[in-house]
Each structure stands twice: as C-alpha cells, then as structure tokens.
Amino acid sequence: MRGSSFLRSTALKHAAAYMMLFAVANLSANLIAHRMVLNFLDDRLNASVLERFREISSAFDVGGVAAAVTMIKSHGPAIRGEESVYNLRDPGGRLLAGNVELPQAGKGFSSLNPARSDDGALAYKLYRGDLGDYALTVGVSYKDTDRLTRIVTTSFGWATAISFGLGTGGAILVAGRLRRRVRRLVRVAHAIGNGELALRLPVSRQDDEVDHLAKELNGAIGQLESSVTALKQVTTDIAHDLKTPLGRIFLMLDESLQAQDAESGRAFTSAALSELAGISTTFDALLRIAQIEARDRRTNFRFFDLQTLLADIHDAFRPIAEDDGYILHLECDGAAIVFGDADLIRQLCVNLLTNALRHTPPGTTIEIASHLTSSHVHLVISDNGPGIPDRERGKVFDRFYRLDKSRNSPGTGLGLSLVKAIGELHGGTVALSDNTPGLVCTVRLPSAG
C-alpha cells in the first residue's frame, strides 16, 4: 500500500464512478427542467398573443372593422421594434392598420425571425386569424422570453458546474479519508503479521462496515494471541514437567545397562517403561485438548439426555467409591436434553469424579446433580472435602498446574484443562465455588429443549 498510486486506489475509482452517476443524473434532471421551463415560457407567450388577438376580435364583434382599426391605432404609433406588432388587411390584401409590414403568415401560430441577428431586430411569435373577411395578424416579441431563457440556461449551467465541482472535490476528499483509514489498517496488520500480536486494528466512531470488519478481525487476532500465548506456555510447561521424568528414565536405563544380573536389569527397564507410559498419557491428553480447542470434535454432536448419562456414570462409579469409603449420590431434576458429544461429556464427568475421589479423604460425600433452567442445564459435581483455596481456583484450569498438596499424587495436571475445553466446545462454562466445606464444580451447558 505504501507504494501504490492514489489514482489507482479502489476508493478513488468507486468515488469517481458514483460521481459520474451523480453528474449524469444531475445533468439529465437539469435538461428536463430546462425543457419544462422553455415549454412554459412558450405557452405563456402563446397566451399573450392570443389575449391581444381576442381584444381586437372583441372590438370587431362590437363595432366592426372601424372599431378594430381604432383599437390597433390606440396601441401607439407604428414604431419598428415594438414588443407587440399588429397587421390588419382587407380581403384584397391592403393594409388597413398596423405598425409593421408583415409578410403573409399562415393561419395559426408562426414565428418571424429577423433577416440578420446582429442588427438589434426582434423575433416575434405571430398569430393570424380572420375577422370576418379581414385578416388580422398579432405578434409578441421573444425579447422577455429570450431573456428568461438565457437566465434559466445560465442558472442551470452554473448549478451543474457547481454540483460537479463540489461532487468531484467531495469524492476526492472521501476517497482520501478512506485511503488513510485503510493505510492505517494495513500498517497495523503488517505489524501484527510480523509478530506484534498485542496490537489491534483501529476502530473509529463511525461504526461503518470498515469498523465492523476491524472489530471482527480484532476478535480473531485476540483468539490468535491467546492461542500463541497458550502454545508458548504449553511448550514451557512441557519442557518443565517432562524434564524430571525424562531424567529418571535416563538414569533407569543407565542402571539397567550396568546391572549385574538380568533380574535387576528388567526391574530398571520396567520402571523406565512405566515412566514412558506416563509421558505418553500426558501427550495423549494434550492432543485431545488441542483437538477440542480447535473445534475438531463437533462431528459427533447429537441430542442426548444428560440425566441418563449421569445415571450410567453413577452406577459405574458407586461400587468403586463405596469400596474406598466414599458416599456417592445422584440428584436430577428430570430429563435434560443437550446437543453435544455424549462421549466428551462423559469424559468431563469422569475427570471431575476422579479428581474428587483422588483429592478428598475417605468418608467424603460426593454428589452428582443436574438442574434445569429456561435456557441452560447445570451439571454439578460437589463434595464436602478440603476444597480449593480461592486464590487457586482460577489457576487449576491451566495446563500442568497442580496444587502443592497434590504434587505427590498421581496425575498430569491436565484433567481440569480438558474439562474446561470440553465445556467451551459445547458453548458452556465451567466454574468452581465454595461448598463450605468442600468444592462445587458447575458446568453450565445450553439446553436443547
């Protein structure tokens, strides 16, 4: 954009196209208006001619040709160039009265143009009619009509020129402003493309299509920044959390090579394989989270009853929980239809129940419940165990984050990250709250009816 020509810009081309359309429309409107004004002036001139003819005709009807001659003479001396002309001839063609010698004109309306246009002579609109056996010709000059025509033509010409000039200037101004806005967007986009993901495209107060596009792109850039930040954090976390098990595997394999007997070598090798299985489990969990966050798991979305799914999970976990000394309850309001992936929601519930069983002492009561509202289904798993401190609740959804008291227990620190990803995939939210004592995890999902 930096080296592009202003004359070749899309904004100027569009502005020029609209300007040409405006100019054609304005010129067409002025031409139509000009023709209408000229027709009006011509009709008014015809009416003026007819009015003078009827005055003399009325005098003829009352007093005969003598009255008509008297009226013609009363209009003034016969002076060449008067605005009105009269010519009354007898049946033999002899001039009886009038102020000009008019050539024989045809009946009705006609025009009389001067022999030369530069000698100051006037042109006339004529009307010839019969007064009995006499022929009367009356004419009115085009002087006033021509003056009004020139005024109208000049006015329309100036109006067209001013409109075109202002329109052209406005089009250039608008094109320039739009070009400057686009150039600002291009500069910011170029910087974002070079890695400055914290920048955002400028949004003006106009709230037009460009601003709507900038807002949508800012949202996409925000998501991209979050993804890149999360990727960097995951990379750091993986390097940090896998450094220790990889070191242990190296030592175990080294001990296996140096073992004096086969039994000791197999023991070290078995321990190394166990560590590798844990690493494989971690990468599998990361892959599932990545697929879910990329919205690659929507193909299996179906309508299903959450109450039935929770009942199945309760029946599967209750014997295990009771054997370990836990109390497991199920409470559902009724059928709760959800549109989603039933297997993923099952995995979400299993992760939450596993965390509850792993991080609470025997004798803890764990409750699985679902509650319905007008537009959402609330899936709730709560316990009366030690809970999670307030300052830690926002961090436990981060990958590999583990509470200090849980670092010596089995796990990868990815269970709640997977729960959050599954909830967001279904358009829901996951929240932790205090159960006084214990913890409440509420998954809020859109209801499908």
> What is the rounded distance in angstroms from the CA atom of residue 248 to the CA atom of residue 265?
15
> What is the rounded distance in angstroms from the CA atom of residue 283 to the CA atom of residue 289?
10
User: What is the H or E stretch that residue 442 is in?
Assistant: strand 439-446
Q: Are 430 and 419 in contact (CB under 8 A)?
A: yes
Cα 45 versus chain centre, distance = 57
Find the Cα–Cα–Cα–Cα dihedral 51, 53, 58, 61, rounded to 10°.
-160
Residue type, 424: E
> What is the rounded distance in angstroms from the CA atom of residue 294 to the CA atom of residue 227?
10
Question: Domain 7-147 belongs to what topology?
Answer: Beta-Lactamase (3.30.450)
Pairing of strands 365-372, 134-141: unpaired
The residue to which tokens 């100036």 are assigned = 158
DSSP 3-state assignment of 412? coil
CATH class of segment(s) 299-446: alpha beta
Q: Which two tokens stand for residue 287?
A: 């892959």
User: What is the H or E stretch that residue 303 is in?
Assistant: strand 302-305
**387 Cβ neighbours under 8 A, 6+ residues apart:** 434, 435, 437, 438, 439
Q: Which two tokens stand for residue 25?
A: 């429309």
> What is the rounded distance in angstroms from the CA atom of residue 430 to the CA atom of residue 448?
18
Tens of pLDDT along the chain (449 residues) come to 454 565 666 666 777 777 778 778 878 888 888 888 888 888 988 898 898 889 888 988 888 888 888 888 876 544 444 578 888 888 887 888 887 777 667 788 888 777 555 555 678 888 888 888 888 888 888 888 888 888 888 888 888 788 778 877 877 787 777 778 888 888 888 888 888 888 888 888 888 887 888 888 888 888 888 777 766 766 776 666 677 777 778 888 887 787 777 777 788 788 778 777 777 776 776 666 666 666 656 777 889 898 899 999 999 889 888 988 999 998 887 778 888 888 888 888 988 898 888 888 998 999 999 888 888 899 999 998 888 888 877 777 776 665 544 444 555 567 788 888 888 888 888 888 888 888 999 999 888 76
